Structure 1
Amino acid sequence: MPSIAVVPGDGIGNEVVPAAVRVLEALAQATGIELRFQRFDFGAERYLRTGEAVPADISAVVREMARTFDAIFFGAAGDDPRVPPEGTARRFLMTLRKDLDLYVNLRPCRLLDARLTPLKGKTEKDIDFVVFRENTEGLYSGLGGVFKMGTTDEIYIREELHTWKGVNRILRYAFEYARRTGRTRVTVAEKSGEEGLWLREMRNVARDFPDIEAENMHIDTLAYQMVLRPERFQVIVAENMWGDILSDLAAALHGGRGLSPSLCLNPETGCYVEPVHGTAPDIFGQNIANPFAAVLCGQLLLEYLGYSREGQLLQQAVVKAIQVGKTTPDLGGACTTDQVTDFLCEAVRELAAEARAVPT
């Protein structure tokens, strides 16, 4: 039985992750798959009770989680006005990424209803691609520093790190994903010229995938084309910061961060899923947070665990909710988080029953 560690974290993570777990449990009961969930209390709520947001030995906790559980379902970290910066789940999240070396950040961009995109004339068939963000290097590697801070002579240095290992493995994973999912083109974001590591390694890796078209595109042109012609993209690969920016732009194309799941993994160490909308402290506690991104994280989780068919039912339930207007205010609806979750639970039961009735 697959076991999942559940860490809601901060802010609306404490609302949308339990909602998603409810829907997953309803799906498991309706389809006969078995899932085991165990909740961990890390973040601002723990800090307010105990004075610590995470255990002192958080590295050991993370390593034990990776050994004990098949995956981790994380909610959100940071931005809680009630606690100091160290009072959030951010340390857990950073330890998770660093200690498990989770170099793949997978962000699907899939339009589920044409009414949700701001792009004129684009439909569901036009917006369906995946952004792969290298998750451990680049400008976020922590190199550099500040000298003479607060003076007129202040110097701020932030260095960008790229290694052959880091670039090769994210490119290879993206090409393998394209082949595995029936996609035929991989687009690599770069702007370093012919001698750049990303371009050279893209060409090297592409030789092992003659069935996949490989192309490189300058990052500014790629962002421009994502808005004008999203239908031309299937798989996009980018270094850490560019992937961060492109994946948020992609979220705007398909309806917003409230519909944006992500999966971070290293095939050798483990994975976690996370809705990318953050903690949303302005609406936390009001029961109006959109649970769709968290539920779609459930789809990514099930696909990772080998239950792709069951995961599709989660996406279908979200589509059904959007079609009939069972949405939270950010998508123009009037439902609460609980009401949307109730609808999704019933929808997955109905969809599972329909799937059982169809001969295979």
Structure 2
Amino acid sequence: MKKHEIAVIPGDGIGKEVVPPALEVLHTIAEVHGGLSFEFTEFPWSCDYYLEHGEMMPEDGIETLQNFEAIFLGAVGNPSIVPDHVSLWGLLLKIRRNFEQSINIRPAQYFKGLRSPLTNPNDFDLIVVRENSEGEYSEIGGRIHRNENEMAIQNAVFTRKGCESAMRYAFDLAERRNKHLTSATKSNGIFHTMPFWDSVFDVVKNDYPKVETNSSHIDALAAFFVSQPEKFDVIVASNLFGDILTDIGGAVMGSIGIAPAANINLNGQYPSMFEPVHGSAPDIYGKGIANPVGQIWTAKMMLDHFNEEELGEKLLDVIQEVIADDIKTADIGGKCTTDEVSTEICNRLRALK
């Protein structure tokens, strides 16, 4: 039997409500499969943990997590008690950086039964590959002066290695999908980094002659995500551009609450991390109405990472069926509770035996 050892961090707010049902779904998948099992070890690291200990995770937290095959994260953040820059840099971004999770993957697709704000969504099915370790989110920069002359400088850092690894990952993914890749750029307005990004893309694409390519300026690309999402297959983008595009992707699906994400380590030396795109939503925590689909779809992405793509597709099919049958939480137009949605997903998975 193949066993996967997973570190689980429910985190803050609704993370604590949607992670347990997602784990139950994974246990059900293992039950249906028969040759697969999961061992979950939970860690209480969160903003509540910070209030008690003065840190988002213990000093040896990274060393502890390094022993696991993957990390399953709920949500991080509760700005009413801990500033976001403290919570994110103390946990989520600390894990991403220390474990060299240089690729972030976020899919978006049309779901029957999920009301898209688009008049005609045309069954779009796209995936954004985001460079996840540098770019516009580098830590390099600073502030000087504290008067009318105050100044802040934030340096964007683009390395050939970082750009190329994201692009090659995206090209490999496009080859397995519909053989089309779009590069997000802004070389008509950003003088150094975006022309550099474009030049790397032009070199890398020569190694993938079967993949059709185009480059699109980020402002136009954002508009096309809304007006023509069905035209896209795989999109590769820098850290900031990928972040923005994937929120638009969640919006055109009908809810960012169902969107999943994967933070991938490419060298195999450290675990990858899987988390939904949605935040901790402290305003609805404890009401039993949080949408579990984003966390469960994230579990599907973790199955894919473990080379269990067939099981992952079965799980996504069930998620789509449940939504199409109007078994939904209130945020996407339904009347069901968190547990009712996840229980129905588990029941339908068992019916696949």
Same fold? TM cut 0.5 = yes
Report the Cα distance in structure 2 between the residues aligned to 1:86 and 1:130, rounded to whole angstroms. 27
Displacement of 1:56 = 2.2
Report the Cα distance in structure 2 between the residues aligned to 1:281 and 1:207, rounded to whole angstroms. 47
Work out which of the residue numbers 22, 25, 45 in structure 1 matches 2:24.
Answer: 22
Contact 2:7–2:43 (Cα < 8 Å) also in 1: yes
Give the equivalent residue in structure 1 for 2:33: 31
Q: Alpha-carbon deviations, 1:287-335, whole Å to 9, x = none?
A: 1110000000010000100111111222122112212221111011111
Contact 2:264–2:273 (Cα < 8 Å) also in 1: yes
Work out which of the residue numbers 171, 176, 183 in structure 2 matches 1:175.
Answer: 171
Contact 1:141–1:161 (Cα < 8 Å) also in 2: yes
Root-mean-square deviation (CA), in Å? 1.9
Work out which of the residue numbers 141, 144, 154 in structure 1 matches 2:141.
Answer: 144
Give the equivalent residue in structure 2 for 1:356: none
Q: 1:71/1:326 Cα in 2 relative to 1: closer, same or farther (>3 Å)?
A: same
Displacement of 1:123 = 3.4
Give the equivalent residue in structure 2 for 1:130: 127
Q: 1:344/1:217 Cα in 2 relative to 1: closer, same or farther (>3 Å)?
A: same
Report the Cα distance in structure 1 between the residues aligned to 2:58 and 2:217, rounded to whole angstroms. 43
Larger mean Cα displacement after TM superposition, 294-303 or 182-191:
182-191
Give the equivalent residue in structure 2 for 1:306: 307
Give the equivalent residue in structure 2 for 1:316: 317
Match of 1:283, SS state, is coil
Contact 1:42–1:89 (Cα < 8 Å) also in 2: no
Contact 2:7–2:41 (Cα < 8 Å) also in 1: yes
Report the Cα distance in structure 2 between the residues aligned to 1:187 and 1:141, rounded to whole angstroms. 24
Q: AA paired with 1:158?
A: Q
- TM-score by length of structure 1 reads 0.90
Match of 2:137, SS state, is helix
After superposition, where does 1:205-284 map in structure 2 within 5 Å?
205-268=204-267, 269-284=270-285
Give the equivalent residue in structure 2 for 1:333: 334
Report the Cα distance in structure 2 between the residues aligned to 1:98 and 1:220, rounded to whole angstroms. 28
Match of 1:5, SS state, is strand
Displacement of 1:84 = 5.9
Q: Alpha-carbon deviations, 1:185-217, whole Å to 9, x = none?
A: 110011215981111111111111000012111
Give the equivalent residue in structure 2 for 1:156: 152
Give the equivalent residue in structure 2 for 1:53: 56
Report the Cα distance in structure 2 between the residues aligned to 1:74 and 1:328, rounded to whole angstroms. 21
- Provide structure 1 residue ranges, at least 5 long, that are not aligned to the other structure: 354-360
Q: Alpha-carbon deviations, 1:105-164, whole Å to 9, x = none?
A: 00001112264211112232xx10101111111221011111113x21111111111111
Contact 1:44–1:89 (Cα < 8 Å) also in 2: no
- Provide structure 2 residue ranges, at least 5 long, that are not aligned to the other structure: none
Alignment length (residue pairs)? 344
Displacement of 1:44 = 2.5
Report the Cα distance in structure 1 between the residues aligned to 2:170 and 2:85, rounded to whole angstroms. 35
Q: 1:16/1:182 Cα in 2 relative to 1: closer, same or farther (>3 Å)?
A: same
Q: 1:203/1:281 Cα in 2 relative to 1: closer, same or farther (>3 Å)?
A: same
Q: AA paired with 1:331?
A: I
Report the Cα distance in structure 2 between the residues aligned to 1:274 and 1:14, rounded to whole angstroms. 13
Identity %: 36
Q: Alpha-carbon deviations, 1:328-347, whole Å to 9, x = none?
A: 11011111111212111112
